[in-house]
């Protein structure tokens, strides 16, 4: 019964989103039929479209998992974007400064470095919050700007490719690339990393005492304190895991897509990850589903732009609508659901 | 013609019928008690009258006219005032400012302080409601704040006063003073409705009683024609249970809990000064006192949530002064907090997850950080059975359980580890009579199993009915310790609760 309710309200959200999209498209004087056709063609029309969805979903799953762990612990990490860039910096440094080595070892070191650097980027706000009560919402957002600008400095100085005039790092060695899973599409090993991370997070959060402590602190800090569970320790731990996962998203983007560090590698994945976590109800499976759903929306919108000439900015509007509906569905739809006699 | 007539009031909340065709009639100049257990629908009924809730059906007539107040403002304008259980006063404003808050007197928005203070002084003289109009609310005692609340209603020309659990926070002496005020109000022609579940008070002060049970009318009787047992029968369907006083046979000489000159000083909370007492195994040691005199702080320094500045605390002979919460638990301490919702439970987690809140990192519940949910489920099912916890299932969010069942869950959890010292802070607050009796009986059973029990309670009746020795706390100090027995002088405890020192009688 609980699931019927979920299902019905999700359906309502999808229908309302499509209606609003239709209105926007008609107002902008485009052909809605054509738009719809090209939207779905982009998603289901080819293997390439399908793979592209997974490619885009990969960083969203990783960063979304990170945000969901933080949210579950009551730490509102808005800084996944910056943490993602720190992860990207980490793997680039591993590629540029470490001597050649076997691929397995190289990737493993890059993953650990990316996790740690992303994690540290979140632990600083986590520490400030746990120790001094500084609002993590503000600090994590500010850390985004710092991280993005550090990337800008690095690709022009220390990590700059000396053979080029452009602000790029050198191309990563072959041993630091994820293998392609579905040649000739871009789908790469990062997707597997994302799925494995989701399973691990599920186990940690639901089956271990570590996750139990994190969730207790997330629901009720006072009850945690009164049961001998340290708020301080758990907020720092949650921020480490959260930033680390976002850092992995950066590692995966470099190792799987860009193969070198440059500015603007993330089209706001770290921010969309917040939507992913919210819609996925902080559950790993929910995160995977909503990440794939949102990237399908983007891939479909890109196809609409190519084929029907409709600007992709429409997806930003729709994502806003989805967030509003998802957050307010319990209140907005409760009357409706009652009338439909669904409990 | 009665002043107030509520007829067949029906009010349904999602899933619960709070008032099922309830009727109430109040004559002019009458003190009328609305008696019933928690959740019987008393406060809902009064909130409907006062315009906070709207009724689903039914008729309210006030002074011969049918009324339906849309907000408390309407009710106040018609001469009905309500004093809530939790006072609605602004602590940083003065008495006079609180009393006139929201009123548009002549000359509004300018404030005629002289006139207002004169009016308040006249009112307080007339009814014996002594307060200084210039004093800040934050500096007043609870009893004085209540007088301000009543003055606030009278200043708005209330003819009918509704008082929700007015004596819950008062010392016995303050209660007597309060009763005198009620009588004056009555003599001046005001009607009063008192919401309460305390039968002795009903007998002492009221003219008429309406008893509610499970949202329905049970009876309306004249106080002079009834007795305590009959009222109790109406209210809970049986007579009140009396707890037999302890037979002084197996008095242990071992101490379970010892506090020596404990001092606690923290800017944010009450100060504790020089607190010393020893609790033996096999006794219930009560801490009596008016709410907010350091009880909470005392519970927290013993449980280890706060650290003390000076002194020593021993549990079962072990010095745990500087030990963490978990170490104290291992030493044998169980802590039943007074704040179920914020401290004792994680309301959004399910029953089984709440059952392991204190032992999740211990075997058999977990090993190497992996929680064994099979064991958790079995243990939860066992405890649900042992303590007769009513829940739809072990996966139900504990938020959905009634207060009594939530408290049973906490007690089941705290007693499961086989503690030697039980620290119970206001364990029956907000519970209905059935659950209250269960909690008290459990404490007595544990005492008989030779556990050492410290009961901190603002409910003097509770302290007197089950404790072996009683200490009184006032302003963070232990004023005195007396033995509980047939010769107990309640008046003396009352004076001690108000800060008069009693001579210490150590046993």
- Domain membership of residue B246 (yes or no) is no
| Over residues B264-271, mean pLDDT | 80
pLDDT at position B138: 85
- Binned at pLDDT 50, 70 and 90, residue B271 comes out as confident
pLDDT at position A194: 97
> What's the CATH code of the domain at B208?
3.40.50.300
pLDDT digits (tens, 9 = 90+) for B285-326: 999 988 778 898 999 999 998 889 999 999 988 899 989 888
Of A208, A210, A222, the CB nearest to B343: A222
Question: Token digits for A302?
Answer: 């890109």
- Indicate whether B167 and B275 sit together in one domain: no
- Indicate whether A198 and A216 sit together in one domain: yes
In whole angstroms, give the CA distance from residue B91 to residue B136.
Answer: 7
**Nearest chain B Cα distance for residue A221, angstroms:** 9
- Domain membership of residue A125 (yes or no) is yes
- Binned at pLDDT 50, 70 and 90, residue B341 comes out as confident
Could you check whether the bond before residue B109 is cis, i.e. omega within 30 degrees of 0?
Answer: yes
In whole angstroms, give the CA distance from residue A224 to residue A210.
Answer: 13
In whole angstroms, give the CA distance from residue A83 to residue A142.
Answer: 12
Name which of B150, B156, B151 is nearest B78 in CA terms.
B156
| Over residues A22-37, mean pLDDT | 87
| Over residues B486-492, mean pLDDT | 79
In whole angstroms, give the CA distance from residue B405 to residue B403.
Answer: 5
- Indicate whether A332 and A284 sit together in one domain: no
What's the ipTM?
A: 0.84
CB contact under 8 A, A223 and B370: no
Residue A281 parent element (H or E): none
Core vs surface per residue A59-89: b (16+ CB within 10 A) or e: bbbbbbbbbbbbbbbbbbbbbbbbbbbbbbb
Chain A residues near residue B369 by CB distance under 8 angstroms: 208-210
- Binned at pLDDT 50, 70 and 90, residue B506 comes out as very low
Of B343, B360, B366, the CB nearest to A226: B343
Of A207, A220, A228, the CB nearest to B371: A207
Task: Answer yes or no: is pLDDT of B40 > 70.
Answer: yes
DSSP-assigned states of every residue in B236-280: HSSPPP-PPPPPSSS----EEEEEEEEEE--TTS--EEEEEEEEE
SS (H, E, C) A220-280: CHHHHHCCCCCHHHHHHHHHHHHHHHHHHHHHHHHHHHHCCCECCCCCCHHHHHHHHHHHC
pLDDT at position B36: 84
- Domain membership of residue A59 (yes or no) is yes
What residue numbers bound the domain in which B404 lies?
346-414
pLDDT at position B250: 60
Task: Answer yes or no: is pLDDT of B152 > 80.
Answer: yes
pLDDT at position B504: 46
In whole angstroms, give the CA distance from residue A115 to residue B40.
Answer: 56
pLDDT at position A96: 93
In chain A, % helix, strand, coil (3-state, to 5) comes to 75, 0, 25
Could you check whether the bond before residue B364 is cis, i.e. omega within 30 degrees of 0?
Answer: yes
pLDDT, mean over chain B: 87
Chain A residues near residue B360 by CB distance under 8 angstroms: 209, 212-213
**Nearest chain B Cα distance for residue A127, angstroms:** 21
- Binned at pLDDT 50, 70 and 90, residue A340 comes out as low
Task: Answer yes or no: is pLDDT of B370 > 90.
Answer: yes
Domains in chain A, number: 2
Would you give the distance in Å from CA B288 to the centre of its chain? 13
Q: Of B414, B429, B454, which one is at a domain's C-terminal end? A: B414
**C-alpha distances in angstroms, A100 versus A171, A173, A175, A188, B413?**
14, 8, 8, 22, 57
- Domain membership of residue B356 (yes or no) is yes
- Indicate whether A80 and A95 sit together in one domain: yes
Of B343, B360, B366, the CB nearest to A223: B343
- Binned at pLDDT 50, 70 and 90, residue A6 comes out as confident
pLDDT digits (tens, 9 = 90+) for B210-226: 999 888 898 999 999 99
- Domain membership of residue A33 (yes or no) is no
Nearest CA in chain A to B345: A223
- How many C-beta neighbours within 10 Å does residue A108 have? 12
| Over residues B364-372, mean pLDDT | 92
In whole angstroms, give the CA distance from residue B502 to residue A83.
Answer: 64
Could you check whether the bond before residue A184 is cis, i.e. omega within 30 degrees of 0?
Answer: yes
pLDDT at position A241: 97
Chain A residues near residue B344 by CB distance under 8 angstroms: 223, 226
Question: Token digits for B132?
Answer: 């200084």
pLDDT at position B173: 80
Question: Contact, B466 vs B456, CB < 8 A?
Answer: no
CB contact under 8 A, B371 and A223: no
Task: Answer yes or no: is pLDDT of B505 > 70.
Answer: no
Task: Answer yes or no: is pLDDT of B507 > 50.
Answer: no
Nearest CA in chain A to B363: A209
pLDDT digits (tens, 9 = 90+) for B94-141: 998 898 888 776 666 777 788 888 889 888 888 888 888 888 888 887
Chain B residues near residue A227 by CB distance under 8 angstroms: 325, 357-358
Name which of B445, B451, B384 is nearest B423 in CA terms.
B451
Task: Answer yes or no: is pLDDT of A86 > 80.
Answer: yes
Of A236-240, A288-292, B336-340, B501-505, the one with minimum mean pLDDT is B501-505
pLDDT at position B338: 87
Backbone angles phi, psi at B184, to 5 degrees: -65, -45
Chain A residues near residue B301 by CB distance under 8 angstroms: none
Q: Of B364, B381, B414, which one is at a domain's C-terminal end? A: B414
- Indicate whether B128 and B78 sit together in one domain: yes
Backbone angles phi, psi at B313, to 5 degrees: -125, 130
- Domain membership of residue B341 (yes or no) is no
| Over residues B195-209, mean pLDDT | 88
Higher pLDDT, B494 or A299: A299
Question: Taking CB atoms and an 8 Å cut-off, how many pairs form between chains A and B?
Answer: 59
Sequence-distant (6+) residues with CB within 8 A of B187 are: B29
In whole angstroms, give the CA distance from residue B142 to residue A307.
Answer: 74
Q: Among the residues of A76-189, which ranges form H helices?
A: 80-97, 103-132, 136-154
In whole angstroms, give the CA distance from residue B296 to residue A278.
Answer: 38
- Domain membership of residue B340 (yes or no) is no
Question: Contact, A109 vs A176, CB < 8 A?
Answer: no
What residue numbers bound the domain in which A239 lies?
41-308
- Binned at pLDDT 50, 70 and 90, residue A159 comes out as very high
Residue linked to tokens 């871009």? A186
- Indicate whether B229 and B283 sit together in one domain: no
pLDDT at position B234: 85
- Binned at pLDDT 50, 70 and 90, residue A87 comes out as very high
Nearest CA in chain B to A204: B370
| Over residues B257-280, mean pLDDT | 89
- Domain membership of residue B482 (yes or no) is yes
Nearest CA in chain A to B303: A226
Chain A residues near residue B343 by CB distance under 8 angstroms: 222-223, 226
**Nearest chain B Cα distance for residue A24, angstroms:** 39
Strand order across the beta sheet in which B65-67 lies? B16-26, B4-13, B57-62, B65-67
- Domain membership of residue B191 (yes or no) is yes
- Indicate whether B157 and B70 sit together in one domain: yes
CB contact under 8 A, B346 and A209: no
Of A213, A215, A225, the CB nearest to B305: A225
- Binned at pLDDT 50, 70 and 90, residue A2 comes out as low
User: Choosing among A205, A216, A226, which should be mutated to test the B contact, i.e. which has the most B CBs within 10 A?
Assistant: A226
Residue linked to tokens 């977990």? B366
| Over residues A136-150, mean pLDDT | 96
CB contact under 8 A, B348 and A222: no
pLDDT at position A343: 42
- How many C-beta neighbours within 10 Å does residue B334 have? 25
Of A207, A219, A228, the CB nearest to B349: A219
- Domain membership of residue A34 (yes or no) is no
- Indicate whether A174 and A132 sit together in one domain: yes
Chain A residues near residue B303 by CB distance under 8 angstroms: 226
Chain B residues near residue A228 by CB distance under 8 angstroms: 304, 324-326, 329, 358
- Binned at pLDDT 50, 70 and 90, residue B499 comes out as confident
- Domain membership of residue A16 (yes or no) is yes
CB contact under 8 A, B370 and A208: yes
Task: Answer yes or no: is pLDDT of A1 > 70.
Answer: no
- Domain membership of residue A100 (yes or no) is yes
- Indicate whether B374 and B457 sit together in one domain: no
**Nearest chain A Cα distance for residue B264, angstroms:** 18
- Indicate whether B352 and B466 sit together in one domain: no
- Domain membership of residue A36 (yes or no) is no
DSSP-assigned states of every residue in B27-72: -TT-EEEEE--TTSSHHHHHHHHTTSS--SEEEEEETTEEE--SSH
Of A207, A212, A220, the CB nearest to B342: A220
| Share above pLDDT 70 across residues of chain B, in percent, rounded to a whole number | 94
Question: Contact, B11 vs B53, CB < 8 A?
Answer: yes
DSSP-assigned states of every residue in B173-188: HHHHHHHHHHHHHHHT
- Indicate whether A318 and A258 sit together in one domain: no
- Domain membership of residue B248 (yes or no) is no
- Indicate whether B78 and B190 sit together in one domain: yes
Chain B residues near residue A208 by CB distance under 8 angstroms: 366, 369-371
Domains in chain B, number: 3
- Indicate whether B95 and B173 sit together in one domain: yes
Higher pLDDT, B392 or A211: A211
Of B266-275, B304-313, B362-371, the one with minimum mean pLDDT is B266-275
| Over residues B160-179, mean pLDDT | 85
- Indicate whether B324 and B462 sit together in one domain: yes
- Domain membership of residue A130 (yes or no) is yes
Which of A58-72, B194-208, B349-363, B379-393 has the highest average model confidence (pLDDT)?
A: A58-72
Question: Contact, B349 vs B378, CB < 8 A?
Answer: no
In sequence order, what are the beta bridge partners of B194?
A: B33, B163
Task: Answer yes or no: is pLDDT of B503 > 60.
Answer: no
- Indicate whether A326 and A265 sit together in one domain: no
- Domain membership of residue B220 (yes or no) is yes
- Indicate whether A150 and A23 sit together in one domain: no
pLDDT at position B239: 61
Contacting A residues, span 196-235, partner chain B, CB-CB under 8 Å: 207-210, 212-213, 215-216, 219-220, 222-228
- The residues on B that touch A, with CB distances below 8 Å, are 303-305, 324-326, 329, 335, 337, 339, 342-349, 353, 356-358, 360-361, 366, 369-371, 373
């Amino acid at each position: 019964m609980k699931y019927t309710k979920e299902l019905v309200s999700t359906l309502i959200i999808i229908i309302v989103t499509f209606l609003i999209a239709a209105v926007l498209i008609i107002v902008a004087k485009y052909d809605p039929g054509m738009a719809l056709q090209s939207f779905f063609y982009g998603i289901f029309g080819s293997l390439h479209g399908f793979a592209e969805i997974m490619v885009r979903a990969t960083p969203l799953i990783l960063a979304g998992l990170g945000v969901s762990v933080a949210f579950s612990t009551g730490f509102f990490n808005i800084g996944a974007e910056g943490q993602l860039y720190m992860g990207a910096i980490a793997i680039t440094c591993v590629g540029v400064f470490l001597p050649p080595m076997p691929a397995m070892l190289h990737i493993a070191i890059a993953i650990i470095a990316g996790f740690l650097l992303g994690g540290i980027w979140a632990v600083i706000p986590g520490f400030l919050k746990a120790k001094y009560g500084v609002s993590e919402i503000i600090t994590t957002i500010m850390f985004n700007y710092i991280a993005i600008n550090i990337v800008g400095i690095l690709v022009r100085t220390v990590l700059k490719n000396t053979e080029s005039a452009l602000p790029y790092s050198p191309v990563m060695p072959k041993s630091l690339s994820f293998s392609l899973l579905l040649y000739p599409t871009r789908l790469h090993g990062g997707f597997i990393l994302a799925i494995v991370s989701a399973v691990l997070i599920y186990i940690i959060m639901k089956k271990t005492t570590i996750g139990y402590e994190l969730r207790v602190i997330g629901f009720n800090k006072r009850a945690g304190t009164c049961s001998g569970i340290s708020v301080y320790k758990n907020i720092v731990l949650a921020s480490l895991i959260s930033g680390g996962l976002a850092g992995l998203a950066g590692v995966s983007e470099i190792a799987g897509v860009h193969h070198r560090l440059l500015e603007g590698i993330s089209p706001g994945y770290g921010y969309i990850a917040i939507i992913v976590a919210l819609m996925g109800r902080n559950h790993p499976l929910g995160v995977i589903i909503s990440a794939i759903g949102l990237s399908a929306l983007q891939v479909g919108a890109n196809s609409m732009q190519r084929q029907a000439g409709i600007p992709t900015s429409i997806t930003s509007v729709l994502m806003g609508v989805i967030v509003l509906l998802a957050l307010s569905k319990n209140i907005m739809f409760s009357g409706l659901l009652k009338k439909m006699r669904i409990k | 013609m009665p002043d107030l007539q509520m007829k067949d009031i029906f009010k349904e909340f999602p899933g619960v019928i709070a008032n099922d065709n309830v009727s109430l009639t109040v004559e002019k100049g009458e003190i009328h008690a609305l008696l019933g257990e928690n959740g019987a629908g008393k406060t809902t009924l009064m909130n409907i009258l006062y315009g906070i809730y709207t009724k689903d059906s039914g008729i309210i007539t006030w002074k011969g006219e049918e009324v339906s107040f849309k907000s408390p403002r309407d009710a106040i304008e018609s001469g009905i005032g309500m004093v809530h259980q939790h006072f609605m006063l602004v602590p940083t404003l003065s008495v006079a400012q609180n009393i006139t808050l929201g009123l548009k007197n002549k000359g509004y928005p300018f404030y005629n302080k002289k006139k207002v203070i004169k009016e308040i002084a006249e009112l307080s003289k007339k009814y014996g409601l002594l307060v200084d109009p210039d004093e800040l609310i934050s500096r007043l005692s609870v009893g004085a704040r209540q007088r301000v609340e009543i003055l606030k209603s009278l200043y708005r020309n209330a003819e009918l006063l509704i008082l929700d659990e007015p004596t819950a926070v008062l010392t016995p002496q303050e209660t007597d003073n309060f009763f005198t005020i009620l009588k004056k109000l009555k003599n001046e022609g005001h009607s009063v409705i008192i919401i309460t579940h305390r039968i002795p008070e009903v007998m002492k002060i009221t003219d008429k009683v309406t008893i509610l049970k499970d949202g329905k009318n049970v009876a309306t009787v004249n106080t002079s024609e009834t007795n305590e047992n009959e009222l109790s029968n109406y209210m809970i369907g049986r007579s009140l249970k009396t707890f037999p006083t302890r037979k002084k046979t197996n008095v242990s000489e071992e101490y379970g809990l010892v506090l020596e000159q404990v001092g606690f000083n923290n800017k944010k909370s009450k100060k504790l000064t020089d607190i010393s007492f020893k609790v033996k195994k096999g006794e219930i040691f009560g801490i009596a006192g008016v709410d907010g005199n350091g009880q909470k702080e005392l519970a927290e320094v013993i449980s280890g949530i706060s650290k003390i500045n000076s002194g020593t605390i021993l549990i079962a002979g072990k010095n745990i002064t500087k030990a963490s919460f978990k170490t104290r638990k291992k030493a044998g301490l169980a802590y039943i907090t007074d704040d179920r919702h914020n401290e004792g439970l994680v309301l959004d987690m399910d029953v089984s997850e709440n059952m392991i809140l204190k032992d999740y990192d211990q075997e058999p519940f977990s090993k190497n950080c992996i929680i064994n949910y099979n064991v958790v489920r079995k243990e939860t099912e066992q405890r649900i059975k042992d303590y007769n916890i009513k829940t739809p299932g072990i996966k139900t969010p504990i938020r959905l359980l009634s207060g009594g069942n939530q408290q049973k869950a906490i007690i089941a959890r705290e007693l499961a580890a086989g503690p030697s010292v039980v620290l119970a802070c206001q364990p029956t607050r907000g519970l209905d009579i059935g659950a209250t009796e269960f909690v008290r009986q459990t404490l007595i059973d544990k005492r008989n199993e030779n556990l050492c029990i410290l009961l901190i309670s603002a409910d003097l009746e509770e302290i007197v009915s089950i404790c072996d020795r009683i200490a009184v706390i006032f302003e963070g100090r232990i004023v005195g310790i007396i033995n509980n027995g047939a010769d107990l002088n309640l008046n003396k405890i009352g004076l001690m609760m108000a800060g008069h020192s009693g001579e210490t009688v150590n046993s």
